[in-house]
């Protein structure tokens, strides 16, 4: 029985390890899909340039001198988005239904 317990403990460790590794790689893949670096540049009539990255907006003058940077809370922005709210609602329902299906299926 001791051997059995050891084997089952290893099995649990293997299953949890696989789940954790898969979850981590999925999360990192998702994170890498989310822009981190520069994604857009635009200019104002007075020749000031704004470079948007995944987190910040940099303000530079026309010859590239750094002027300032701004941090807009992207999550706060997202939460204001009606489309995002709608999408999250649908994800919520889908997750609940998926959970129900999963438990019934197993």
Contact set for another protein, span 69-98 (CB under 8 A): 69-72, 74, 76-97
Please report how close the Cβ of residue 33 comes to another protein at its closest, in angstroms.
10
Least Å distance, CB 43 to another protein, is 4
How far, in Å, CA of 32 to CA of 98, rounded? 26
- 105 forms part of the interface with another protein (CB under 8 A): yes
Check if the beta carbon of residue 36 is closer than 8 Å to that of residue 54: yes
Q: How many residues does the chain have?
A: 106
Q: How near is the Cβ of 48 to another protein at its closest, in Å?
A: 10
For another protein, how many residues bind (rule: CB under 8 A)? Answer: 84
Minimum distance of another protein from residue 79's CB (angstroms):
8
Q: Binding mask 3-32 vs another protein (x if CB under 8 A, - otherwise)?
A: xxx-xx-xxxxxx-xx-xxx-xx--xx-xx
- Among residues 30, 59, 29, the alpha carbon closest in space to that of 46 is found at 59
46 binding another protein? (CB under 8 A): no
Q: Choose among 66, 79, 78, 72: nearest CA to 53.
A: 72
- Closest Cα partner for 43 from 56, 52, 33, 53? 52
């Amino acid at each position: 029985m001791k051997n059995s317990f050891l084997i089952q403990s290893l099995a649990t460790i293997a299953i949890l390890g696989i789940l954790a590794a898969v979850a981590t790689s999925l999360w990192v893949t998702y994170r890498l899909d989310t822009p981190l670096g520069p994604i857009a540049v635009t200019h104002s009539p007075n020749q000031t340039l704004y470079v948007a990255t995944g987190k910040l907006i940099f303000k530079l003058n026309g010859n590239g001198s750094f002027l300032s940077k701004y941090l807009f809370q992207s999550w706060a922005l997202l939460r204001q988005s009606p489309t995002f709210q709608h999408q999250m609602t649908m994800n919520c329902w889908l997750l609940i239904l998926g959970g129900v299906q999963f438990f019934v299926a197993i």
